[in-house]
Structure 1
Amino acid sequence: MKRKEMTVAAAGCLLFFFMLAARLVSAEEHKIIFWHKESDSTKFIDLACSEFSKENNVILKAEYIPVDQLKQELLKWSLRGKMPDVVFVPSDFIGIHAQLRLSEIPSSLKNPQISEECHATASSCGKLYGAPVLGGNHLMLLYNKRFVRQPAATWTELATQRTELERQDVELIGWNYNEMYWFVSFLGAFGGWPMKGGKITLDSQAMQEALRFYKSLADQGLVSRECGYDCCAKLFFAGKFAYALNGDWAYAQAEQALGENLGVAVIPALASGPAVPMFSTHVLIFPQDSLNGSKGEVLKKFILFMQSVEMQRRMRRELKRIPVHQKVLAEFQQEADANQQKILRQLELARAMPSEPGMTFAWEGMRKGFHRFMTGSVDAAQAAQLMQRIAENEMRRHAQAAAP
């Protein structure tokens, strides 16, 4: 081959590879990776992503990550520098905004049809790091009307129903006993809370009383410590439990399983006062400042898509979830049936989950101290002290690691 022909051929090959590389870069820019933890809503999310992809000529790929793994996965991948473009999470994830390098949501994208209370749950240090999509996310009491005529208003009443229910060959109640999101409802009944004024407050008399009461429920055999979330949900849906403590996220599945036999009530009160479950928003967050990256314009459209009246109505009707758009929320409140009215009543008695950075470490402290108490390694006072010490030490360690 002559030198001129070789030069032309080489130039042609080089041009081909440049074009291929450009196409690959273009394809990557049009591919949006979307993580979520909504196991019960996977089909809905996949369909919504497909619709958005077609409307905007992009590929929006949804990937399900179990809720108990999601935070650790995000932290792990943040160290490797490869993150999803957008994630759908409970608003307490805002507390690790620095570690995940979350984009601040600009004021131009702060939807005026979403309340300041909702935006506050997605804010930290005066900055908005999440775009609210769903409200609620709170626990409530579900019951099966086949076995329960009048739902128990107190834990004492609930205990008295046990014998009659056992005669019907059904167990009393189940919930995710070892998960702190459930336990904190009982802490609130004694006047305690994981954080106050931006500070971790686990070492308290309220924590000690909550631990003792909570353990007594298992010691009496009213609830199983071993039956976790999936176990309890499946047994309740199958009519093996008369009651279940579960969240508004499980309502649609419970309704599908039990139909007209499904009832909803407020969580039974303690002698110290009503249970105080947490509520939060579910928000879209943007790791590694993706909202200001090459895919930023498409991601901004995704926020508008998820907060639109049409999508909010679909989530209310199909997922039976609580919308954040004020117009759609007003429609929900007006049209709510008896069960949905109870869901809203329980929400009134709930308290917002703290979104400060310390809440991430408070969860970790509670988990470890709770486990030590339940295994008998420490008493209630020691467990509360241990929770506080672990949480503060973890927060200090992360602060030092993040320091320049």
Structure 2
Amino acid sequence: MNAGVVIVGAGLGGARLAENLRQAGYSEPITLIGKESQIPYDRPPLSKAVLRGERDLVALKAEEWYADNHIHLLLDTDVQGVDLAAKSVDVGAGESLAFETLVLATGLDPRFLPHSAVQGGSAAAEIDGVHVLRTYDDALELRAAAREGVRAVVVGAGFIGCEAAASLSILGATVTIVEPAPSALHAALGPTIGARVEKLHTDRGVTVRTGVGVAELTAADGAVTGIRLDDGSTLDADLVVLGIGSTPTTALAETIGLDLSDRSVGGGIACDAVGKTSADGVYALGDVANWSDETGEFGRRVEHWNHVVEQAKVVADAIAGTDKASSTPVVHYFWTDQFDLKIQCLGAPAADDDVHIVDEDGDKFLAYFSRDGILTGVVGAGRAGAVMKMRPTVAARTPVADLL
């Protein structure tokens, strides 16, 4: 028996990889190492049902499943280092784990405002009332701070920011969203869909300020008091949620000496088309990994749930020696739940694509995205069936004129 697989990162990617390895017949030891104390859980509900107190932690598998499948869960553990020559992982307290194959699934770190944008030059993370929303503990802390009438400012109108704003509003907070881009979800879906998302929020009492950024986060006695915007206006706040993006957690990869991808193509750990890194026996997957295509071109670091799931299958087959070539094109899919509306996105829509609204009824709509006359994606709100049936049409690179 060899030393097996050690997976650093017990999120969706790491947990699904362990599951897929067993399904592929891999019988060697598997160790799954997580920084958090909770068993692997689903992150999308954090900004929605978990924040609103409607659900508790949403485990990906019951704890006994790992024991039943002989997967060693090592939680609340921060990996101290890796010795590639000795093939061992330092997990602290003088303990190390041997491995035959190492997989990095370390995910993302949320961005904070720079010290220069915080009154007194303090670290935003150290100010009471300033929150990010990446972990289960983050969601519990924000839930505890949210109450009827609390003044909340959400910085960033991306998916996490909009979802958090909706949940806080439902909880009774007075919510303002601040976004320097011209519209909500602008980078992902552009101004046409962004305007519809803004209306969804404003119709329910949320104030949306676009085209304006944060000049300074203000605080007194170690607690947040508000936001000064770069147009000179100010917003009083009892709590501030930072939804300004994330960065790949590459610190461990850097200490090992793995190649990283350039930020211009998404950053993260550079991998080939099946997740192999620049070091023998080391793979990476999930939000931290930038997979190349068969030509070696990078730019495939995609932060979507289904993308991670697909990568876990590929890496599992590569490690288990059951590589399966698929002729079916991967069509990306992601979604966001805001208030009572599910917005689904299929394919690879871009902010500067042409947008064709083909169906609308109040907040509900269906839109086709196209580039150079070819369908690139479908976005729908309250149109689940209509979106999902378009998967083969998107995969076929259908001329959009054939659909209008």
Please state which structure has a larger fraction of its residues in strand.
Answer: 2
Based on CA coordinates, which of the two structures has the bigger radius of gyration? Answer: 1
TM-score under structure 2 length normalisation: 0.27
Higher relative contact order (CA 8 A, sep 6+): 1
Please state which structure has a larger fraction of its residues in helix.
Answer: 1
TM-score under structure 1 length normalisation: 0.27
